[in-house]
Amino acid sequence: MIRRGMRMGVRCRAAIGADPIRSAKVSCARDVPAGAASGIDTLTEYFETFDEQGRPAGLAARPRVHRDGLWHRAVHIWLFRSDGRVYVQRRAPDKDVSPDRLDVSVGEHLQPGEDFRAAAYRGLSEELGVVDAKPIELGGERRVTQHRPEIGIHDREIQRAFHAVYDGEVEPEPSEIAALELWTMDRLRAEAGRSPDAFTPGLRADLADLDLP
């Protein structure tokens, strides 16, 4: 199990357009995307949303996106070591979607104006402190849904997945990740089959749909 100390202050993100591998510049989450309408609460996380045909439908606050089932974009990154083991995270217990469930190495929502590959690099850096891995895309774009009406969650994501191999040190971000462990793929597939509710729908969809290493 791997942990690190809590980051202090407002969560920040790699600046859009900066070098995704070794960017030293950060832009705090309170920054409003260029062109955003006046009156936006700049302390709230906003996502780009899309209609059923995948056409842009404007920005919406994260709570509304997950409450109303608005399509939005996300990326998954499967981080392997060269011995074939993969990092599996346990999501923090206060996450609004799938709290305390086992998940892919990194799952990240795209920020306004960001593309999937840039989000993959940013997610590896923010969630695991990894800046030297090179994500390789797995398959194409998919739609993954999770409906939990008992807790008011209707999560509809347009996803792309990546994998990378990295043997260096990882530093999981504790506000996002409760725990991080290395699993073999055989163990992961067996446990997800035996106890599917212990895993996120996104991880289970990846196991079913993707040609993972």
Per-residue pLDDT tens over the stretch 122-173:
999 999 999 999 999 998 898 988 787 776 878 899 999 999 999 999 999 9
Residue 173 phi, psi (nearest 5) = -80, 115
26: pLDDT strictly greater than 90? no
CATH code of the domain covering residue 149: 3.90.79.10
Is 199 part of a structural domain of the chain?
yes
Handedness of CA 15, 18, 20, 22 (dihedral sign): negative
Provide the pLDDT confidence category of residue 42 given band limits of 50, 70 and 90. Answer: low
Is 70 part of a structural domain of the chain?
yes
Is 6 part of a structural domain of the chain?
no
Print the domain residue range for 150.
12-209
Is 5 part of a structural domain of the chain?
no
Report the distance separating Cα 91 and Cα 103, nearest Å.
7
In the chain, the number of structural domains is 1
Per-residue pLDDT tens over the stretch 52-111:
999 999 999 999 999 999 999 999 999 999 999 999 999 988 887 788 899 999 999 999
Report the distance separating Cα 72 and Cα 81, nearest Å.
30
Is 195 part of a structural domain of the chain?
yes
